[in-house]
Amino acid sequence: MTLSRRNWLKIAAGGTAGLALADLGFGPGEARAATGALKLKGTKEFTTACNFCSCGCGMVAHVRDGQLVNLEGDPDHAINFGALCTKGAAMKATHDSPRRVKAPMYRAPGSDRWEEISWEQAYEKLARKIKATRDATWTATEQDGDQEYPVNRTDAIALLGGAQNTNEECYLFNKMGRLLGTSYVEHQARL
């Protein structure tokens, strides 16, 4: 088959490639496959997980020039075998949203607006508040009848994890909880 310049441009346009191939006599299946191949041309592929709920459905993502261009269910993933619910299927929209928060936000006391701060500023504010809370609420011992026992804890700090945390992160969460002196380490599947 020879391709005219006009038809070649139609194929290269990508979005209309499927139609162009169909025009050239390929079947719908072949046309769809060719469209997919053009859409993913030059991309890097990696696997990830849907961030919406505790099912943790696997996804395949494609990135070109640092931009996410495609996101779909991972057919090799043991949980979803390529299927996604409507939320997962629409996840790319949250990635592309101009309203997506990409940096720590801070609202100063008395202020009516949030402002973006650096991660270093956020870490410092968090560390200071955790230290102040721990110092102010520290319980070193508890009395039980005539006996006084060391307990070394605070009841004012809790850690909350979510379904997207890895085993390694959960291990570190728990370790940090012990170091801070709290046993309130909880899980919320939809975080």
Looking at the Cβ atoms of 64 and 92, the one nearer to ligand SF4 is 92
Shortest separation between residue 85's beta carbon and ligand SF4, angstroms: 3
List C-alpha distances in Å: 185 to 10, 122, 125, 158, 176.
Answer: 57, 22, 21, 6, 10
Shortest separation between residue 44's beta carbon and ligand SF4, angstroms: 22
Six-digit token string for 79: 């949980």
Location of structure tokens 């050239």: 24
Q: Which stretch binds ligand SF4 (CB under 6 A): 31-39, 79-87, 122-130, 183-191?
A: 79-87
Per-residue x/- track, 32-71, ligand SF4 (CB under 6 A): ------------------x-xx-xxx--------------
Nearest-CB residue for ligand SF4: 88
- In angstroms, rounded to a whole number, what is the distance separating the alpha carbons of residues 191 and 181? 24
Q: Which helix (H) or strand (E) holds 186?
A: strand 185-188
| Radius of gyration of the chain, Cα coordinates, nearest whole angstrom | 26
Per-residue x/- track, 81-110, ligand SF4 (CB under 6 A): ---xx-xx----------------------
Shortest separation between residue 93's beta carbon and ligand SF4, angstroms: 13
Looking at the Cβ atoms of 60 and 84, the one nearer to ligand SF4 is 84
Looking at the Cβ atoms of 57 and 60, the one nearer to ligand SF4 is 57
List C-alpha distances in Å: 187 to 50, 159, 179, 180, 181.
Answer: 18, 8, 19, 18, 18
> How many chain residues interact with ligand SF4 (CB under 6 A)?
11
List C-alpha distances in Å: 42 to 62, 65, 136, 178.
Answer: 9, 9, 56, 47
Residues that bind ligand SF4 (CB under 6 A): 50, 52-53, 55-57, 80, 84-85, 87-88
